[in-house]
């Protein structure tokens, strides 16, 4: 065989990722290109109020134009990073604004209306946090136009392309808002690189800070957006015939999903899988295979679906120190039936007429990694 | 087939992970167990000065006992978290101290000498940062005993179990030191949960802070140690016969490795693989399969090895915005020869007599993912 497709089968297109926007990350470093993109008539701004995106009455994301927000944000990329650092004043309004990238295929603008950034032409996308009072006039105008910021806990209703834009935008707005102060020295931070980096300026409004900050020299990872890798684990029995699922303490009756846990520093995905499965259920996993991944914008988790196979005799459930209400081995045929007939979000009522174990819907890694188990072991 | 081993072959035991210590993460929440473990005669302290671990003359990690550091750290877990938060005074000395876990198999202590923590018995391990002047007497005593903190850029010389302990310890000490201040409000943080969490106390030495801090309510991911997932990418040609490697701008002549890049919020590992490969070399990848992973303690990266296959005709190298000096397609036979004969760290001289392309040593994900490519496609 000469292709990954033949060997591993079709990959799946994970929800919350793989949208229409090309990030073109090198454009972030160029304030002149960002200035051109952000002020262009074709630019689309997705605004967030308290992390909820603006929506039209049909529930779709609603985009605004630069002229709608111009009076509130001015020209945020007019000056280069060096000048912005030199002139930094924490008392000024610094918009939480993210350059998401270009849609190179957008047909809504004719060629003449697309923005040209170096060799790339397309429709630029930005995300903007309008939670501060500063944006009261803008928010009022949008409400008048029938657009709303609807509070949503976890949104699985957007179509795939919009879900990817939302995921990217929400995670970065949240990260910027959580990083207003430097974790190394406590000084106010400046958001730069189109919202994809924060820097710690040496002075506030011209007054030099007292504390030396280690982030001003060398490579410092706290300056860049974080993602938190989390293993979503499907343990299978040594004979490959059963899969272990768990039920959290506050979950609805009969709702089961994969085990999961954050991957810690000094752990591989594989060792974290073994530790988490052991800590939560007492089972002993040996060989681990990573299946696929998905971003999860609450706030910026990276879900990594893994399959782990128990050693012979390692399937006993003992709950050493569990966060689970229950863990249970299922036959693969029962899981197949559940994925096909009983898969929906736990915050919705069970599907009518379905009485088997409930499982997560297809938008979630847990569902996809179980599909992967079936593909490999359920012939 | 009924096992992951049959389907995917033997997994590899990644360097910097999978050591002798069981983390038992639930012990971190219990200050009484931590107090017992940290003051126990069997406890092993790995001390770090400026992120370099203490070593014996043969280069191995050198561990200290509680009595060696007692006068400097006191009994750091004597009080519970609630009391520590209530009494928090940033002017006090707060040791950067990490509970690593228990070695449940350690034969160096007899059963009577092992510590008993709930149902677990073993040798407890801690990591301690002795960089502050506070530890001058301890450091002098260790130097007198012939032990040294040797500055090392990247250490691949430790044996596998010690490399795993070092990786875990170094990443967490570094993370604690980078998170002395709250990124949401700028207040001083308190390290808790055995060094695996930081919290933002509401008062300093009894004086209530002026700023409300969002981390004091709800779930806040900046309170937990970060890992930064990075894709280590082996692009293969559409026909599965060649692999693409790159050479960084400051790398030695003829040294090649996988492409790589941080995974951003709103990206899956798979979409980040496509973006990075395109941004760095211009090639177009379709199907992506994740191979394996490895922690990388500089400072707390998570390397994720991936194989990505180009679409038909997507192999042209155009360098849209490259950070590379060069990118080049190699036949698989040449890569096999290089892995077997020319693999060593780039900061060492080439292996004597070897004149082909140089590649990373077996301790690195880049080496292992290339082995994975050979296993799948080089028959």
Query: What is the DSSP annotation of A52-103?
Result: EEEE-TTS-B-EE-HHHHHHHH--TTSS-HHHHHHT--TTS----EEEEEEE
Mean pLDDT calculated for residue range B344-367: 96
DSSP calls for B79-139: S-HHHHHHT--TTS----EEEEEEETT--SS-GGGSEEETTEEEEEEEEEE--SGGGHHHH
Distance between A163 CA and the closest CA of chain B, angstroms: 10
pLDDT digits (tens, 9 = 90+) for A203-254: 999 999 988 887 777 666 668 898 999 999 999 999 999 999 999 999 999 9
List chain A residues with CB under 8 Å of B184: 178-181
pLDDT of residue B220: 63
Domains contained in chain B, CATH given: 21-223 (no CATH), 228-377 (3.90.79.10)
Provide the whole-model pTM.
Answer: 0.95
Mean pLDDT calculated for residue range B209-228: 79
- Distance between CA atoms of B3 and A286, rounded to whole angstroms? 11
DSSP bridge partners of A309: A236
Q: Which of B306, B217, B368, B268 is nearest to A229 (CA)?
A: B268
SS3 state at B377: helix
CB–CB of A268 and B239 under 8 A?
no
pLDDT in tens, chain A (379 residues): 788 888 888 888 999 999 999 999 889 999 999 999 999 999 999 999 999 999 999 999 999 999 999 999 999 999 999 999 999 999 999 999 999 999 998 866 555 688 999 888 999 999 999 999 999 999 999 999 999 999 988 999 999 999 999 999 999 999 999 999 999 999 999 999 999 999 999 999 999 998 888 777 766 666 889 899 999 999 999 999 999 999 999 999 999 999 999 999 999 999 999 999 999 999 999 999 999 999 999 999 999 999 999 999 999 999 766 779 999 999 999 999 999 999 999 999 999 999 999 999 999 999 999 999 999 999 7
Which residues of B, range 219-238, sit inside 8 Å of A by Cβ? 220-222, 224-229, 236, 238
Total Cβ atoms within 10 A of residue A188: 18
Structure tokens of A293?
A: 């991944």
Distance between B65 CA and the closest CA of chain A, angstroms: 23
Up-side HSE of residue A305: CA atoms within 13 Å toward CB?
Answer: 25
Q: Is the sign of the CA dihedral B345, B346, B349, B354 positive or negative?
A: positive
- Distance between CA atoms of A81 and A187, rounded to whole angstroms? 18
- Distance between CA atoms of B38 and B76, rounded to whole angstroms? 8
Assess B214–A contact: CB distance below 8 Å, yes or no: yes
B87 exposed, middle or buried (CB, 10 Å; 0-12, 13-18, 19+)?
middle
Q: Which residues contact B9 (CB under 8 A, 6 or more apart)?
A: B375
CB–CB of B184 and A180 under 8 A?
yes
* Rg of chain A in Å (alpha carbons): 24
Crossing angle, helix B365-377 and helix B332-341, to 10 degrees? 140
Assess A38–B contact: CB distance below 8 Å, yes or no: no
Q: For residues B229 and B304, is the Cβ–Cβ distance under 8 A?
A: yes
Q: Which residues contact A252 (CB under 8 A, 6 or more apart)?
A: A346, A350, A358
Which residues of A, range 301-330, sit inside 8 Å of B by Cβ? 301-302, 304, 307-309, 320-321
SS3 state at A310: strand
Structure tokens of B205?
A: 């030495």
**ipTM tops 0.85:** yes
Structure tokens of A279?
A: 């800590």
CB–CB of B227 and A228 under 8 A?
yes
Assess A161–B contact: CB distance below 8 Å, yes or no: no
List chain B residues with CB under 8 Å of A169: 266
Which residues of A, range 107-136, sit inside 8 Å of B by Cβ? 119
Q: Which residues contact A277 (CB under 8 A, 6 or more apart)?
A: A233, A235, A244, A259, A283, A285, A308
């Amino acid at each position: 065989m000469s292709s990954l497709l033949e060997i591993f089968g079709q990959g799946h297109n994970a929800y919350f990722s793989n949208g229409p926007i090309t990030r073109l990350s090198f454009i972030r470093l160029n304030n002149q290109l960002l200035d051109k993109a952000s002020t262009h008539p074709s630019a689309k701004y997705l605004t967030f109020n308290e992390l909820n995106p603006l929506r039209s009455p049909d529930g779709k994301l609603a985009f605004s134009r630069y002229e709608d927000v111009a009076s509130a944000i001015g020209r945020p990329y007019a000056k280069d990073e060096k000048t912005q650092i030199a002139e930094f004043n924490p008392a000024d309004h610094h918009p939480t604004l993210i350059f998401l990238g270009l849609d190179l295929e957008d047909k809504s603008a004719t060629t003449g209306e697309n923005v040209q950034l170096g060799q790339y032409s397309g429709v630029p996308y930005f995300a903007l946090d309008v939670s501060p009072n500063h944006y009261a006039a803008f928010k009022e105008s949008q409400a008048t136009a029938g657009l709303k910021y609807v509070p949503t806990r976890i949104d699985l209703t957007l179509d795939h392309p919009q879900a990817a834009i939302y995921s990217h935008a929400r995670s970065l707005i949240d990260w910027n808002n959580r990083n207003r102060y430097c974790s190394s020295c406590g000084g106010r931070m400046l958001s730069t690189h189109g919202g994809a980096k924060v820097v710690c300026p040496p002075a506030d409004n011209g007054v030099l800070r007292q504390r030396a900050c280690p982030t001003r020299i060398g490579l410092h990872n706290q300056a860049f957006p974080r993602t938190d890798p989390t293993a979503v684990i499907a343990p299978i029995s040594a004979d490959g015939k059963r899969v272990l699922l768990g039920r959290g303490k506050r979950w609805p009756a009969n709702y089961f999903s994969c085990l999961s846990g954050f991957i810690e520093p000094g752990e591989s995905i594989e060792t974290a899988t073994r530790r988490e499965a052991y800590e939560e259920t007492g089972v002993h996993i040996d060989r681990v295979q990573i299946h696929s991944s998905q971003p999860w914008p609450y706030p910026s988790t990276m879900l990594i679906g893994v399959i782990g196979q128990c050693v012979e005799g390692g399937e006993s459930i003992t709950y050493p120190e569990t966060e689970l209400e229950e863990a249970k081995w299922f036959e693969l045929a029962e899981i197949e039936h559940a994925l096909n007939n009983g898969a929906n979000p736990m915050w919705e009522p069970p599907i009518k007429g379905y009485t088997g174990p409930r499982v997560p819907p297809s938008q979630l890694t847990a569902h996809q990694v179980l599909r992967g188990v079936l593909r490999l072991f359920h012939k």
